[in-house]
Chains A and B, each alone.
Chain A
Amino acid sequence: MTLELQNIQKSVEGSQHIYPTSLVLEKNSINLLLGATLSGKTTLMQIMGGIEKPTQGKILFNGNDVTNMSVQKRNISMVYQQFINYPNFTVYENIASPLRLQKMKESVLDQKVQEVADLLKLTPMLSRKPNELSGGQQQRTALARALIKDSDLILLDEPFANLDFKLREELREELPKMFENKNTIVVYATTEPSEALLLGGNTVLLEEGKVIQFGKTQEIYRRPLNINSANVFSDPPLNRAKIFVKNNKATLEKVSWNVSLQDGEYTLGIRPHHVYPKKINEDFFDITGQVSIAEISGSETLVHFKLKENSWVSQSHGVHNFELGQISKFYIDISKCLYFDGKGNYING
């Protein structure tokens, strides 16, 4: 089973919402759409599901053209950020509703409801109404209804965004297990890089209507194609600085190191957890910055500092105290630096 987008694009009243995009999603996979608000996640998802039609391009399902097939005829489910359940139905009837439409035999239906309820920890709530449940349980009910149909395609649009932090953590962990042995293609939209990393699978990085990278989540994180891709996938933001390379030596502030890059100007990118407040390795280089703020979360310290005109962040284990305005040394793990050329493309240095 595959879902293939062939050069689809979407424009509304002359403004381009999705630029030409081609993607192939395989069965039994979780595919994350990661990007900021208004980057085109929801539009792309709705095009995949046939809720919106592309202005141009084709959508193939198992090789068959479904571009003009109505959403009712496709076997899809969708879960939104705002939980949607039937308020007058019990949890049981909410979960069973898609099967009722299929006129499924009662005994088979009952078995399926019990199975899904068990997977989503809803068994004790089956006879309750949605408004008697917590937010997390209501969203689980909506998920159960999406899951019970054995859909070919499940679209989840920031499904946990309205839930408490801890509940989100729990459901994120459960989600991949719910789909483990199913032939479904799961598409999941999120604004949070950490959520994408937790869920794993594949990631489609979106920026202003453009797909800027697609691949295995962890690979994209470590091998961004360009600076925009590295930036979308960075939380806290990626630290950047201009560097100059001459005779295979890169120079930043007062430090130089060997690189295999042609002479010229580059942008160096380094993730905040590769910038340390202490020299824990002899090979690290030191840079000097002025501390603008330090945040201590108990397990970690985040130090925001100015490196000339650039704002940088160091994220490290443990508690490190800094004074506001203090001039301090920070240590960078040069082996973790990313290099980008004048056009912002990643260069292996």
Chain B
Amino acid sequence: MARVKLDNLNHSYVSNPTSDDYVLKNINIEWNDGGAYALLGPSGCGKTTILNLISGLINPTSGSILFDGKDVTNLSPLERNIGQVFQFPVIYDTMTVYENLAFPLKNRGFETAYIDKKVKEIAEILELSPSLSNRASGLTADGKQKISLGRGLVRSDVNVLMFDEPLTVIDPLLKWQLRSKLKELHHEFKNTMIYVTHDQTEALTFADQVVVMYDGVIVQVGTPTELFETPKHTFVGHFIGSPGMNILPCDVNSQNVTCFNHPIKTSSDLKNIKSNSKLQIGVRPEFIKFSPSGLPVIVNNVSDIGRYKVVDCLIENQRIKVIVNEGDDIPSGKAYLEFNSNFTKIYEDSWMVS
């Protein structure tokens, strides 16, 4: 396994691009050997382009890709030696489960005894042992995807293992199982793993470190906790969390922050604000509570999601969402909100003021 470095990558699908034509802009990432990483962002943000650049299916317009410090930008996909698992299962229907798992190793000429050991080891973890001699064609979609995962994981000689939305076709209950399996496998084999998804839950629960992308740029790199507690950009605040962060208009003078003429305490240092910028307050629904005094709102709607409730409040035409635990009381009509100042930040032109 290898340390992966993307050095100043830029990519455009057109020749002689102008600045608007770039789908990836100034991408710098360093992924350590043996880490579990995720690339998270909406459709079209450039995350699949990054995977294709790493695997060598396309070549970057500029910049370089390094494995363990060695420049691989001009190497073929085969020479880069990468394992990849796609959104839809890629398996051989005519082969047995065993033969499918053994195939990547056989191709590379490993000895039969070694192949047998590896296949059985992976099958055991993925709970495929009882079906090893079955034909793959008879399996359900998730059974097939398990084999795809197994085929990626069976090779310990690859530089990096990449997963491109591998759980999209899987039912929710099985998603839980496969995700924790993947995490167990990572603990066991310490492969460098890169997991690409638009699903925040998958990214945050799988990875030690998440790269959040938006419109071809990296907006934040951090641990799940950092992304949740201190989103550096309003996009991260919105995209991570369900519902996302509340983003509210505000006025700031030298000492005070007000929101709809009501004073608000934040943990941003007001000295760091430049003048003539667009200022907003960002606070997550988890960090707001109902209180006897505070920002006056009208309770507009409550949705019961089982383990918690999402309360939709209104002040003038601004909506503010609050998360309330199952069983806690919710006022009706007029109410007051209190923000937890440790997790209330000012955003200046969409970037967090520290």
- Give a binary string over B165-193; 1 marks a CB under 8 Å from any A CB, 0 the rest: 00000011100100110011001000000
Is A295 an interface residue, CB under 8 A from the partner? yes
**A-chain residues with CB within 8 Å of residue B224 when the two chains form the complex:** 296-298
Q: Does A134 contact B (CB under 8 A)?
A: yes
A299 touches B228 (CB 8 A): yes
Q: Does B201 contact A (CB under 8 A)?
A: yes
Give the Cβ gap from A49 to chain B, nearest Cβ, in Å: 24
Find out whether the CB atom of B303 lies under 8 angstroms from the CB atom of A237. no
The main secondary structure of chain A at its interface with chain B is: mixed
Task: List A278-320 residues whose CB lies under 8 Å from chain B.
Answer: 292-293, 295-299, 302, 304, 313, 315, 317, 319
**Interface 1/0 per residue, B271-299 and A, CB below 8 Å:** 00000000000001010000000000000
Which of B44, B227, B239, B304 is packed against the most chain A CB atoms within 10 Å?
B304
Give chain A nearest CB distance to B105 CB in angstroms. Answer: 27
Taking the complex as formed, is B153 at the interface, i.e. its CB lies under 8 A from any CB of chain A? no
Q: Which of A158-216 touch B at CB < 8 Å?
A: 164-167, 169, 191-194, 197-198, 200
Q: How far is the CA of A301 from the CA of B326 in the complex (A)?
A: 17
Q: Which residues of B contact A237 (CB under 8 A)?
A: 173, 176
Is the pair A194, B180 in contact by a Cβ cutoff of 8 Å?
A: no
Q: What's the Cα separation between A191 and B173 when bound, in Å?
A: 9
Residues of B within 8 A of A191 (CB): 171-172
A321 to B69, CA, bound (A): 33
Contact of B187 (CB < 8 Å), options: A134, A302, A324: A324
Q: Which residues of B contact A317 (CB under 8 A)?
A: 286
The contact of A296 among B204, B284, B307, by CB within 8 Å, is B204
- Most chain A CB atoms below 10 A, which of B140, B206, B303: B303
Q: Are B229 and A298 in contact (CB under 8 A)?
A: yes
For the complex, give the distance between the alpha carbons of A271 and B305 in Å.
13
Residues of B within 8 Å of A198, CB to CB, are 303, 305
Distance in angstroms between the alpha carbons of A134 and B200 in the assembled complex: 20
Give the interface size bracket for B toward A. 35 or more
Q: How far is the CB of B216 from chain A (nearest CB, A)?
A: 16
A64 to chain B, nearest CB (A): 36
Q: Which chain A positions have C-beta within 8 A of B205?
A: 295-297, 302
Contact A135 B43 (CB under 8 A): yes
Cβ proximity bits A59-82 to B, threshold 8 Å, 1 near / 0 not? 000000000000000000000000
Check A166/B239 contact, CB under 8 A, given A191-B171, A192-B172, A194-B305: yes
Flag whether B242 is at the interface (Cβ < 8 A).
yes
Are B176 and A236 touching (Cβ within 8 A)? Answer: yes
Residues of A within 8 A of B286 (CB): 299, 317
Are B184 and A164 interface neighbours, CB within 8 A?
no
Nearest to B307 among chain A residues (CB) is A273
A234 to B173, CA, bound (A): 8
- Residues facing A in B194-214 (CB within 8 A) are 198-201, 204-206
Q: How far is the CA of A250 from the CA of B97 in the complex (A)?
A: 45
A169 touches B171 (CB 8 A): no
B198 touches A164 (CB 8 A): yes
A37–B43 contact, CB under 8 A? no
Does B306 make an interface contact (CB < 8 A)? yes
Q: Which residues of B contact A292 (CB under 8 A)?
A: 180, 184
CA A234 – CA B66 in complex, angstroms?
44
Interface residue? A92 (CB, 8 A) = no
Q: Does A247 contact B (CB under 8 A)?
A: no
- Whether A293 contacts B183 in the complex (CB less than 8 A), given A37-B141, A298-B240, A302-B205, comes out as yes
Q: Let me know if B42 is at the binding interface, CB within 8 A.
A: yes
**How far in angstroms is the closest Cβ of chain B from A327?**
17
B307-A298 in contact (CB<8A): no
* Most chain B C-beta atoms within 10 Å of own C-beta, residue among A234, A235, A237, A298: A298
Asked whether A169 lies within 8 Å of B242 as measured between CB atoms, the reply is yes
Q: Is A262 an interface residue (CB 8 A)?
A: no
Does A221 have its Cβ within 8 Å of any Cβ on chain B?
yes
A326 in contact (CB, < 8 A)? no
Which of chain B's residues has its CB closest to A221's CB? B306
Minimum CB–CB distance from A240 to chain B (whole Å) comes to 13
Contact status A299-B304, CB under 8 Å? no
Whether the Cβ atoms of B199 and A165 lie closer than 8 Å is yes
Q: How far is the CA of A37 from the CA of B168 in the complex (A)?
A: 13
With known contacts A166-B239, A297-B201, A315-B307, A36–B171 Cβ distance under 8 A: yes
- Cβ of B89 under 8 Å from chain A: no
How many Å lie between the Cα of A299 and that of B306 in the bound state?
Answer: 17
Q: Which of B173, B180, B187 contacts A295 (CB 8 A)?
A: B180
Task: Find the B residue at minimum CB distance from A294.
Answer: B183
Distance from A313 Cβ to chain B, minimum over Cβ atoms (Å): 8
Q: Determine the chain A residues whose CB is within 8 A of the CB of B244 once the complex forms.
A: 166
With A37-B140, A134-B43 known, 5 other A-B pairs at CB within 8 A are A194-B305, A200-B304, A218-B304, A271-B307, A298-B204
| Complex A-B, nearest 9 residue pairs according to Cβ-Cβ distance, in ascending order | A298-B228, A295-B205, A298-B224, A273-B307, A297-B204, A164-B198, A165-B199, A197-B305, A293-B180
Show 18 residue pairs from A and B whose CB-CB distance is below 8 angstroms, ordered by the A residue. Answer: A36-B173, A134-B43, A135-B43, A165-B198, A166-B42, A166-B198, A194-B172, A197-B303, A197-B304, A198-B303, A218-B304, A236-B173, A237-B176, A293-B187, A297-B228, A298-B204, A298-B227, A319-B225
Could you list which residues of chain B lie within 8 angstroms of chain A, going by C-beta atoms? 42-44, 140-141, 171-173, 176, 179-180, 183-184, 187, 198-201, 204-206, 223-229, 238-244, 284, 286, 303-307, 326
